[in-house]
Amino acid sequence: MSLDWIYTAISWILLRWHALWDFIGVPDGRFLGTNWSWVLAIVFLVVTVRVILFPVFVKQIKSQRAMQALQPKVKELQEKHKGDRETLQKEMMELYKTEKANPLMGCLPMFLQIPVFLGLFHTLRRLNPDNQGKTLYGWTVEQFESATHASLFTAPLAGKFGSTPQELTALEANATTVKVIAGILVLIMMATTYLTSRQMILKTGWAEDPQQKMIQRLMLYGIPASLLISGALFPIGVIIYWVTNNLFTLAQQQWVLRKFPPPPMAKKPGAAPAKPSGPPVKKAAGGTATAPKSPVQPGRSGGLFGRKPAPEPEQPVVETKALAPKPGAKPVNPKRGGRPASKPKG
């Protein structure tokens, strides 16, 4: 199956953005060794793709919420069918079907961006002055020549960490500069890829389903680690795309998670009860519990115009045992100021 339609679509978006920045007047010369119109064209290629995929991203969040809500039922099935993996998988698939939850929906936005990544990767790999197919995918010769010499801090956008000496000579690039710029971008790419996965897991929690948990671990650790090797094969322009996409994802996830916070996590069985907040409760004599009055802070509620109200006098704690009459003592008449009652006259 030919992928020319993908390469043509990606080239069209990239060239439209470059034309727009040229029209606005963004300098296409090498200011700070960078052709900003081409760099911004790649950045806004990300924006275009993410705006198109935003409805899919919302469905991804809803699917993750549904999967999180099903965790108690998944836990019950795991306890019920412990040791019977085939029956467990069958019951879980039936549960997902009944509740209309899709475990793979969480990875759908990433899968949909793979064709875009491959299209840009293929397009930037073609940027070589000796390439004869300069007018493929809607490019003009002038656009091709301009993109071929485009750079980021003097490192060509078509260059990569693993470029051969012949490729660097054709691009008129310095090998050390290309390796330094590409190496820094690869490390940023790894870090931002890790942070996007970590941000989501911290907000939604680890899945109870072993398969879902394995996918989470792969996204958190496996993919960033693999970029250390595969990143050496990516052109600098592709790494700019990946880093921009990660930063966009971090901002988008933060906005969605604030606007639609995940439900509170259910307490695990056997967890320690939460400690009561507030000052300790004092016990008066006789076993009656009395809570101390919290002082009213100035400037807050209570009192006209936020003034601090007069504190109420604390009631002394009376020892009831001390008031009880001692054995053999004469009764006391309270009306006579505590004097002993006189004996009745015979």
Query: What residues in the chain have per-residue pLDDT under 70?
Result: 1, 29, 106, 204, 208-209, 260, 262-346
Beta bridge mates, 156: 151
- What was the pLDDT predicted at 77? 85
What is the amino acid identity at position 315?
Q
The reported pLDDT for the residue numbered 130 is: 82
- Residue 183's pLDDT is what? 96
- Assess if residue 297 is contained within a domain: no
In a domain, 55, yes or no: yes
Task: Give pLDDT, residue 209.
Answer: 66
Residue 83 located in a structural domain:
yes
In this structure, which amino acid lies at residue 245? N
Tell me, what's the pLDDT at 330?
57
Residue 303 resides in a domain: no
273 sits in the region (left: phi over 0; alpha: psi -120 to 50; else beta) called: beta
Distance in angstroms (rounded) separating the CA atoms of residues 107 and 123: 25
The CA radius of gyration of the chain, in Å to the nearest whole number, is: 36
Question: Rounded distance, CA 11 to CA 39, Å?
Answer: 14
Largest CA distance in the chain: 139
pLDDT in tens, 80-132: 888 888 888 888 888 888 877 777 776 777 788 889 999 999 999 999 888 87
332 in a structural domain: no
Range of the domain at 91: 4-259
Is 328 a member of any domain? no
User: What pLDDT was estimated at residue 346?
Assistant: 44
Q: Indicate whether 311 belongs to any domain.
A: no
Q: Is 307 within the bounds of a domain?
A: no
Q: Which residues contact 196 (CB under 8 A, 6 or more apart)?
A: 246, 249, 250, 253
The whole-number pLDDT of residue 271 equals 46
Query: How many independent structural domains does the chain possess?
Result: 1
Whether the predicted model's global pTM rises above the 0.75 cut: no
Q: 62 to each of 158, 173, 261, 299, how far by Cα in Å?
A: 38, 47, 11, 43
